[in-house]
Amino acid sequence: MTFAACSAAPLSVAPSPWPIFWQHYTARFISPQGRVIDYEEGGVTTSEAQSYALFFALVANDKTLFSQLLDWTQNNLAQGSLAEHLPAWQWGKSKNGNWGVLEKNSASDADLWMAYTLIQAGRLWHEPRYTALGDLLARRIAMREVVTVPGIGVMLLPGKEGFHKNPDIYIFNLSYLPLPVVDALGKEMPEGPWQEIARNLPTLMRDVAPKGFVPDWVSYTVGKGFGAAPESTAGSYNAIRVYLWAGMTNPESPSSAGIIGALWGMRDYFFTHILPPLMADAASGNVSGVGPVGFSAAVIPYLERLGMKTQVANQTLRLTADLDPKTGLYGNPPRYYDQNLILFAIGWKDGAFRFASDGDLEPRWQQAKN
């Protein structure tokens, strides 16, 4: 039996400060051309990787790197223009030895983060071209990746193809919908689908998480409701982001409390466990394994939001223990996905950024100017 909620006071330890960690991340994972490289997956680049790096470059107030990342993304994933095309999901070395797009389908979470970050960059850096590019991308997302589902309303598909093959069956991924991003897009374009999606999120979370755990993927059948996706009802590497986004969301966002309330299974789990699970089944509530270091980081904002100080301290201890002094990164080897979860969590906890109640980004460098 484990006893996570012991009475010992939280220890005063901290992981690497965010700006230093970001420097180590860029040195390891970002090429001089602005390509984010996932070495464990054969050196591929994904639209997700590019979108996250754009966000972190904005948080770091690094206009040069932002421009390099954007140029590479447009030239290699979007046929030269994000104003005209959704970015392809995956780029890398093909079986014939050539480098290029491996998967043309889009990934709507990356598309959302790109649109959001471009709009925020335009606002914060007073660059109208970024705002225009982000607006056009968001409008294309609404046209190609958003559907109206009977019994649910407006909802985001995970990509432009492959998630609505049957007229009555849809596949969704709730980790693709960070509330601050959706809120900000709703403010930017109130005529679009984003405000309705934000309003619907708490109900959707409750419907797909009867045991308080969110699955990675979920199917919806018109007239029957939610059920297991082909990938099963397990929640793991995708779902962990739901807790991360929920924790980082400004509590004054209208849908924030409802989302946090729907995730009670993870809260209860930490009453009797020290580290997050690798897998939590949304249908049964069964949990198994221990998640990697990135999972510990991802739940820190969530646990902070719930006031669970001892549990936050446990995750912080793990980050400190898993920091490799040789690389300045976490884990050995340092895995791309773990580092990105940690960049979000440490950045938020370290105060490098916050989200306003309307979803707008509030980076520390902007606060220092005011």
Distance CA(284)–CA(4), nearest Å, equals 22
Residue where the block lists tokens 């849908």? 255
The two tokens of residue 38 are: 């996932």
Please state, as a whole number, how many other Cβ atoms lie within 10 Å of the Cβ of residue 228: 15
The answer to whether 109 is a known catalytic residue is yes
Please tell me whether residue 207 adopts helix, strand or coil conformation: helix
**Residues 6 or more apart in contact with residue 205 via CB below 8 angstroms:** 174, 214, 242, 258, 259, 262, 263
What tokens appear for 141 in the block? 């997302």
> Considering 38, 41, 48, 191, which one is annotated as catalytic?
48
Residue 48 falls in the annotated catalytic set: yes
d(CA 65, CA 181): 22
Catalytic residue among 109, 111, 188, 360: 109
User: Contacts by 322-331 with C-beta closer than 8 Å and gap 24+?
Assistant: 322/293, 323/15, 323/16, 327/24, 327/28, 328/16, 328/20, 328/21, 328/23, 328/24, 329/21, 329/24, 329/25, 329/28, 330/15, 330/293, 330/294, 330/297, 331/292, 331/293
Cβ(364)–Cβ(370) below 8 Å: no
Give the residue from 247, 232, 123, 234 showing the smallest Cα distance to 178.
247
What is the C-alpha separation between 343 and 2, in angstroms, rounded?
Answer: 29
> How many angstroms separate the Cα of 135 from the Cα of each of 128, 188, 218?
10, 8, 29
Query: Which of 15, 166, 37 lies closest to 91 in space, CA to CA?
Result: 37
Pairing verdict, β 153-156 and 146-149: antiparallel
Q: Which residues are catalytic?
A: 48, 109
